[in-house]
Chains A and B, each alone.
Chain A
């Protein structure tokens, strides 16, 4: 019995990779910068019920991992690198996040209004 699940998932994935760059053209974009293992700004205010995109720029030489269980996102930003994270339409509230590689210093929150 031979299953083609792996092949199927691979081909699905390749299909998705070609579609990926289309996403998120007119949505609001917010930027976080990492310097000296701290986020700036530490508080990011975004509108409620609106999908948005988060861009994180890491000015440190070392990698950092953006992590937030409340936002259900985790992502590594290489030293000197920049990543893009798609966020859904959030309800009003406060969503804390942190840098997993420097949990004492790298902290912040997204406030949805």
Chain B
């Protein structure tokens, strides 16, 4: 039972951290609970389907199919997350003004809702598939019973969710004044970390060169296996010894999103329009 709880906790923590950050950043958007539930539902359904096809996936592209698939999921999530941060930057004012007027109406329109659903679904897709595969393995080897799986998975899920909720509430409290700025920058780092992680999958698949095998090594400061290392890994893409290509992806994504958020090339025109 315990190994299931541990692994479900670890995977759920990742999902919960991503969701809580996205939710903190999209304060003022109505119907977010529904968005999370729908996203999780789609994500876990997808996870079950992927777990079912793992054999085929893993064997494809000369045994690197799974890495390429994971990289794909991450890059699509990077795209949607970037869109969200940039969109929020340009609509935040508008959003908070209308909320007072419209109340429960879903302010942001359907596009942004589906973007958020997709982000939640993608976040739960990869991690969910791992949970399914792991529990399948445990069941198949006859080590555990259904009730063990259920108890372990519930414990892990609750634990992971609690940490995510704590982060969410902590963020709302700590950054009350500059909530929007703080959360959107955290989201930028999360997105950049995902891009770097995606790059590392492509390196493992031999699609991309690593450029420099190890840019630096901070594993003696924060080990990648520690809880701290794992949480930082999800939130800001911390990895104790990134390769040159990972750093390149990280920096490029931060710079690109920052440019699209602030648009230095036509800042005057935008101000004039409003």
A, B co-complexed: yes
Q: What is the bound-complex CA distance between A102 and B138, given in angstroms?
A: 9
Tell me if B204 and A70 are in contact (CB < 8 A). no
Contact of B203 among A19, A69, A86, A103 (CB under 8 A): A86
Interface of A is mostly: mixed
Size band of the interface chain A makes with B: 35 or more
Interface of B is mostly: helix
For residue B207, CB closer than 8 A to chain A, the reply is: yes
Which residue on chain B has the smallest CB distance to residue A98?
Answer: B225
Tell me if A19 and B207 are in contact (CB < 8 A). yes
Q: What is the bound-complex CA distance between A19 and B200, given in angstroms?
A: 16
- Cβ contacts under 8 Å, A103 to chain B: 3
- Cβ contacts under 8 Å, B82 to chain A: 3, 5
Q: What is the bound-complex CA distance between A16 and B141, given in angstroms?
A: 37
Which residues of chain B from 213 to 272 have a CB within 8 Å of any chain A CB?
213-214, 219, 223-225, 229, 239-243
Tell me if B83 and A5 are in contact (CB < 8 A). yes
Size band of the interface chain B makes with A: 35 or more
List residues of B whose CB falls within 8 A of some A CB: 3, 7, 54-55, 58-59, 61-64, 66-68, 71-72, 75-76, 78-80, 82-83, 86-87, 90, 130, 133-134, 136-138, 140-141, 200, 202-208, 210, 213-214, 219, 223-225, 229, 239-243
Contacts A1-B86, A20-B62, A55-B63 supplied; 5 other A-B pairs, CB < 8 Å: A10-B76, A62-B136, A62-B137, A62-B140, A70-B241
List residues of A whose CB falls within 8 A of some B CB: 1, 3, 5-6, 8-10, 12-13, 16-17, 19-21, 23-24, 53, 55, 61-65, 69-70, 72-73, 75-86, 88-91, 100-101, 103
